[in-house]
Amino acid sequence: MAIQSVGVVGAGQMGNGIAHVFAVAGYDVLLSDVSRDALDKAVALIDKNLDRQVSREKISAEDKAAAMGRIRTTMTIADLGASDLVIEAATEREAVKHEIFAQLLPHLKPTTILTSNTSSISITRLASRTDRPEKFMGFHFMNPVPVMQLVELIRGIATDDETYQALLAVVEKLGKTSATAEDFPAFIVNRILMPMINEAVYTLYEGVGSVKSIDLAMKLGTNHPMGPLELADFIGLDTCLAIMNVLHDGLADTKYRPCPLLTKYVEAGWLGRKTGRGFYDYRGDTPVPTR
């Protein structure tokens, strides 16, 4: 199953990173979004990140020019229909993903592999609403995509082996490493990571430690490159809450109950770096803890 052209739905933080690595690896990429502004910002960011790779001698200036030449954009989702592989990288809301797939399906080739970059939602359930559950998989990249080496591959109950092998080969061509996860809520990485972040928020909520002391303790005490609250701000507190809700609803275990303080921050619109405030306030020259 030869894959040469790739369609990416969503030009946000994950979508632009996915477009970046596929273009560098030699794939023709069509990036789609409902917002022209989002598409323009994504292309500008890819250009900037490629410049950084050139300056660090990770790629050559010629490689960068070739990669940028492989990226096209569109606001019409039907244009992705001719792609060999489509990667949905929209917001982590199941209803939105179902709507995207519904819009795509009438335009896809019979051989097109359909995937989702979801970090927690059931692949089997997403696939069941399409016309090709056997050609549907979870294709979960880590953030930031150009830097992180892991890709989680998640097979739904109906995914066939040909599709799985094709995506294994794609991950290898990208120069990344795959980990295969079963289709259970949040898969591997977020099944382990998000409860740790949620527990850090509980530690803050219960007054065990301040934002600064919690992050410092985990960075220096366990050698984590980022503290859990700093990491939550980087990921987005709305995304963290959404994944905790998927775990809580899907596994029906109280140990996955989202911390009320996490919910409160999301209700306030303090979602982390992307909104300027979360567990830290990013509006000044240096981040300042908000509690």
What digits encode the pLDDT tens for the residues 82-113? 999 999 999 888 999 999 999 999 999 999 99
Q: State yes or no: 10 annotated in a binding site.
A: yes
Catalytic residue among 16, 152, 198, 230: 152
Helices 228-235 and 189-205: crossing angle in degrees, nearest 10, is: 120
What is the reported pLDDT for 223?
Answer: 97
- CA-CA-CA-CA torsion for 177, 41, 30, 81, nearest 10 degrees? 110
Mean per-residue pLDDT over the chain, rounded: 96
Secondary element (H or E) of residue 30: strand 28-32
Confirm or deny that 128 is annotated as ligand binding.
Answer: no
pLDDT at 123: 97
**196 annotated as ligand-binding:** no
Residues of the chain with pLDDT under 50: none
Q: Give the pLDDT score at 137.
A: 98
Distances in Å between the Cα of 289 and the Cα atoms of 39, 111, 254 are 32, 50, 29
Task: Write down the catalytic residue from 140, 178, 198, 230.
Answer: 140
Known catalytic residue at 140: yes
pLDDT of residue 1: 66
Query: Do the beta carbons of residue 251 and residue 185 sit within 8 Å?
Result: yes
Q: Which of 49, 119, 120, 198 is catalytic?
A: 119
What is the Cα–Cα distance from 280 to 273, expressed in whole angstroms? Answer: 8
Catalytic-labelled residue, pool 178, 190, 198, 230? 190
Active site annotation includes 20: no
pLDDT at 91: 87
Could you tell me the domains of the chain?
Answer: 5-182 (3.40.50.720), 191-289 (1.10.1040.10)
217-252 confidence digits (pLDDT tens): 999 999 999 999 999 999 999 999 999 999 999 999
Q: Does the annotation mark 152 as catalytic?
A: yes
CA–CA separation, 27 and 170 (whole Å): 10
Residue 53 marked in a binding site: no
- Residue 190 near residue 198, CB atoms below 8 Å: no
Cα–Cα distance, 85 to 203 (Å, whole number): 43
Would you say 218 is a known binding-site residue? no
Q: Is 245 annotated as a binding residue?
A: no
